[in-house]
């Protein structure tokens, strides 16, 4: 039996609980639920609580979804479902 693959880390940078941030969180969670063949670890980072991390990752706008392993990012409320699915499917497995 082979071990389960490691989870791909995703960082979602948001600003508090604004409507756009909440929409991005909902859209991302829905998309992740549809990708049962991959394992993701989602960390939501509030830039007001952790501005240093946002600066270190060069986050200029929110919401921003970042995949640190590949340095790929997508910006916005993640409402473009096909674009979000493509982004997630193209991430390298860890």
User: Which CATH number belongs to the domain containing residue 82 in this structure?
Assistant: 3.40.30.10
Range of the domain at 26: 8-90
Count of C-beta atoms within a 10 Å radius of residue 7: 13
**Residue at 77 is within a domain:** yes
Split into its structural domains, the chain has a count of 1
d(CA 69, CA 9): 7
**Residue at 72 is within a domain:** yes
**Residue at 13 is within a domain:** yes
**Residue at 3 is within a domain:** no
| Per-residue confidence (pLDDT) for residue 38, from 0 to 100 | 85
**Residue at 1 is within a domain:** no
**Residue at 66 is within a domain:** yes
The pLDDT tens digits of the residues spanning 2-38 come to 334 588 999 999 998 899 999 999 999 999 999 888 8
The pLDDT tens digits of the residues spanning 57-93 come to 999 999 999 999 888 999 999 999 899 999 999 988 7
């Amino acid at each position: 039996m082979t071990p389960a693959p490691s989870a791909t880390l995703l960082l979602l940078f948001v600003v508090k609980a604004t409507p756009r941030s909440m929409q991005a969180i909902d859209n991302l969670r829905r998309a992740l639920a549809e990708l049962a063949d991959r394992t993701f670890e989602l960390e939501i980072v509030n830039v007001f609580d952790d501005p240093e991390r946002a600066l270190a990752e060069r986050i200029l706008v929110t919401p921003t979804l970042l995949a640190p392993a590949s340095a790929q990012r997508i910006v916005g409320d993640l409402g473009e479902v096909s674009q979000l699915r493509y982004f997630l499917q193209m991430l390298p497995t860890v």
